[in-house]
Amino acid sequence: MSENDFDAIRPYHQQEIPDALKRIVADPLFQQLINYLFPSSQHDILTKKLIASKTTDEFQKSFMLPVIQSIIDKTATNLSESGIENISENTANIFIANHRDIILDSAILGLILVKNGFKTSEITWGDNLIFSPFIEDVGKSNRMITVFREGTPKEMLNNSIRLSAYIRQSITKRNQSVWIAQRKGRSKDGCDSTDPGVLKMLSLANDSDLIASLKELNIIPVSISYEWEPCDAMKVRELYVSEDHEYVKDEQEDLVSVIGGVVSKKGRIHLTIGQKINPYLDNIDNEKRKNDVLQDIACLIDRQIHKNYRLWPSNYLAYDLQNNTTRFSHLYSQETIDIFSKRLKNAQEMTDGDPEKTNRLFLNLYSNPVKNQLQLR
């Protein structure tokens, strides 16, 4: 494929950045954003630095990284990391990550990369989340790759082939890492699992041996865990409705989820960068059917994501409540119990239905990471 084939999905080229930043500053949403995140004394300085930016790196350092840091400062009690030693600046990787928050999962990885001297990754972003020209300008200035979610079967296949080719060129030609969620949409039941279809998409642009094709992309699993799940009540409501009939999103629901994820209290956050899966791919039986090989690789990624997930008191409490045990009671306090109860009540009010069903779904969301780790022992 030629570079022109990627125009609909690629981030902005450097020469497109200055005009995009002017549009960002002129948009009313920009002022609303900085009003929420920064004291008025910083507004002029922040705006001037933003307008003076000429490249993606300058835009991120002058605006996006302060934005993400401010969100964390306002809504989290601590951000920690591990596994940074598993990457090097000389090798581009695909970070296949569990997905708990629409914006913050990839943004927090970017913040951690920059703080440790690395360039941020490109990030895949569904076109359903591009609500306005402002979002598009911010995203494409911030290394966003647009993923088209809808279309005829032929259009969807062509979209997947184009996306696969673009990502492969980013890794192999431009030495540019990429973040992608392990499946479409956020995990809503707390049981992070990789969709083999994501791996199949990544292999489309290279028709050689499947294992060799994926090795070329340097896949690294990434786990992010929040002590208090962003939008937990909304996730439970969606699952509640989905058990009875097909769930149809409200017109503004994606926007509400984005805002909810940004402003909700998250407690502690931990992100782990796992180990490259290339050495383990040699143990996969490449003689199996392609779909079986993809499933085996997905399980390989899942094991790392589950193992590296940081369990919090909220997770242990949910496990004990769900299993009517005190097995992990030494790992949570009355404060955790009180916060958990309030959030569960919020979920019950949002579903406005059978409380036992709501309780089950809410407890699953927080307890499944514990179950996943117990299965690895």
Let me know if 29 is exposed, middle or buried by CB neighbors in 10 A (0-12, 13-18, 19+).
middle
The pTM of the full predicted model, rounded to 2 decimals, is 0.95
Q: How far is the C-alpha of 239 from the C-alpha of 257, rounded, in Å?
A: 15
**What angle do the packed helices 133-141 and 17-26 form, to 10 degrees?**
140
Report all structural domains of the chain as residue ranges with CATH numbers, in order of start: 3-14+76-230+266-310 (3.40.1130.10), 314-376 (no CATH)
Of the candidate ranges 110-119, 140-149, 243-252, 310-319, the one whose mean pLDDT is the lowest: 243-252
Residue 53 exposure: Cα atoms within 13 Å on the Cβ side: 28
Q: Go through the chain and tell me how many residues it has.
A: 377
Asked whether 162 and 5 are in contact (CB, 8 A), the reply is yes
The per-residue pLDDT of the chain, averaged, comes to 95
What DSSP designation does 183 have? S
Give me the pLDDT at residue 2, please. 67
Contacts of 44 (CB under 8 A, 6+ apart): none
Q: Which residue in the block uniquely carries the two structure tokens 């001037």?
A: 48
Q: Which SS3 state, helix, strand or coil, does residue 147 take? A: strand
**Could you read off the pLDDT of 221-240 as tens digits, one per residue?**
999 999 999 999 999 999 99
The terminus-to-terminus CA distance of the chain in angstroms comes to: 46
Contacts of 28 (CB under 8 A, 6+ apart): none
Identify the sign of the CA torsion 38, 112, 231, 200. Answer: positive
